[in-house]
Each structure stands twice: as structure tokens, then as C-alpha cells.
Amino acid sequence: MIGKIQSCAVIGHGSWATALVSILAGNGIDVRWSVRNPEVIDGVRQTGRNPRYLPSLRLPMDRISVYDNPDDAISDAPMVLVSVPSAFLKLYMENVQSCLCDRFVVSAIKGIVPGDYKTAIEWLHDTYSLSYSKMGMISGPSHAEEIAQEKLTCLTIVCPDKGDAQAIGSCLANGFVHVGYSSDLYGIEYAVVLKNIFAIAAGIASGLGYGDNFKAVLVSAAADEMERFIDIGYPYERDICTPAYLGDLLVTCYSTFSRNRRLGQLIGQGLTVKSALNEMTMVAEGYYAADCIRHMNLRYKADMPIADMVYDVLYRSVPARVAMAALIERI
């Protein structure tokens, strides 16, 4: 059991990491924040704000210490929360020399590690010889921008042991953040990977001019596709209609804050994939996930028409309108 948490190291300085740092510190947790970017370090120390991500959010600095060396942040922390884009996880972690095996490691990453074809939890487990019993993740429909505005948000804390999940949840729950719990570590990790791919599809449909009627059909089919893939890879008695699965899928497909939906929308409006990626100010995890899931599904052989369509558009240069027309015949 992790026990009562009084301090936590946070690795990452993006919008989600910044929102989590604010929640933890606001709940009286001593946050040891590992930040790679010198501009962000200076901004946080001088103004109490992250100048690059959620700059309007004032951070409770009386509980926050900022470090440019991840080992300094980790040194006295019993829990390490990793919140970086999955595409850059290896880059962020390359300077970590501390032993993580005696700490509880929590992933707040909703993506898959390119080239390794592993989720963040799997990669951290294998790289640092961790025990899954001392790992967890934070999931659920939770755009950082809404948390910064203190809008009601429901997180799902996922751990093999419910007591550990509740200990983590107690650090995050407040007046506008509610928490639920699950032990489906593998299923939810892949659900958050897949929903980013499906959000790109929803964005493509929007960019092409399809209306709400068809997008409702598309997202319904995406939920079925998600369930098929996860059930083949990780059989478990799960309810796909709960916030960690369907809820996260819905917000990522429909919200204007969704970077994956935005990427698809730009492509649907006629930009090339390269140009659309260059337009993005933040990482769209679904771009990398589409290739990884395609690779994994060579083994699972699940029926994945939406993921196949997104892969064809992103990696095989199939025109978005042609690919979407073909998809309509399959769902």
C-alpha cells in the first residue's frame, strides 16, 4: 500500500502536468516539479505561472519547488507522476538516474511510445524494472483547460489495488475534481490511446463538412471498435460506457480543446498531413497511436475500420474524402 501521500514528484511541464501540479499543491501536497524548459522554470519561479501552458492559471507556489534535474525532484518523493507527451517520454526520462522501483509511479500520459509499440505504463515498467502493483494512471475526460477554469471534472484513478487508487485520489479530489476508481490498468490505457485515433476521424469528418447526424454514428462505431480491440488484447469484465472509456472518447471527439480532433479537422479541410502537423501547437498523440495500433492489430486481427481509415490518411496519403467515403461503407 502506498499510504498517505505528502509529497509527489511531477515530470513534465505541459498543460496537463501544469493542471495536475496546481491540483496537488492546492490540496496541500508538496510538489517537486521537474521542468526541462528554462523559460518555464523562470516563469514559474518569478511569476507563479507557466508562461507557455495555461498561462492564466496562478499556481500555489508555497507548495511547489521547481527543478531542472529530474533526479533532484524525485529524490525525496514517494510518488512520481509522469505527464509528458508519449512521443517524448524517452527524451524526458533519459536523464533519470534515480531508482524508481522503490517509488509509486503514476502515468498521466494518454498515448503510446512510438517505435516501441508500448503504452506509457508498459514502457516505464520494462525500462525501470517496476512492479505493476506499484503503478497507476490518471484517466477520464479531463481537458486541462477546463480544470484551469475550475470546471467540474471527473477523473478515474486506475491501480491494481483499490487502496492505492484511493490514496492517489485523495490527493486530487477537490470542489471541482471528482474521482472514481478502476483496476483495469491495461484496458483503460489502450482506451485512451484509441480515443485519440478516433478523435482524428471525428475531426476529419467535421473538416469534410459532415454533420452531427453522421458524427454520432461515427463515434458510436468508434466505441464498438474500442471495445473489440481491448477485449481481444486484454479480456476483462469491463463496462465500456463508463467515463474512463466512453466519456473520454466523447470529450476528445467533440471538444474544441481536443488537439487530435483539431488535427483531423485541418486535414479534412484540405491541409496535407505534414502541414496540419506543423499547424499544431501541441502534440496530437493520435498521430503516433495510429501507426502503433496498426502494428499491434496485425497480431490481434480485430475489425478496426475507423483506425484503418485514419492510418490510411496519415501514413498512406489516401485523400481524406476518399478514405471517409470508403469508411461509410464499413460502419
Q: Which residues are marked as active site?
A: 195
* 109 within 8 A of 86, measured Cβ to Cβ: yes
> Residue 52, Cβ neighbours under 10 Å: how many?
15
* 188 within 8 A of 139, measured Cβ to Cβ: yes
Using DSSP, state whether 59 is helix, strand or coil: coil
Question: How far is it, in rounded angstroms, from Cα 315 to Cα 293?
Answer: 13
Give me the half-sphere count of Cα atoms (radius 13 Å) on the Cβ side of residue 232.
14
Name beta bridge partners: 119.
112
* 240 within 8 A of 247, measured Cβ to Cβ: no
- What is the number of residues in the chain? 331
One-letter amino acid for residue 319 of the chain? P
Using DSSP, state whether 173 is helix, strand or coil: coil
Rg (C-alpha) for the chain, rounded Å, is: 19
Question: How far is it, in rounded angstroms, from Cα 233 to Cα 230?
Answer: 5
One-letter amino acid for residue 213 of the chain? N
C-alpha distance from residue 79 to each of 124, 196, 229, 321 (Å): 14, 27, 31, 47
Direct distance between the N- and C-terminal alpha carbons of the chain, in angstroms, rounded to an integer: 45
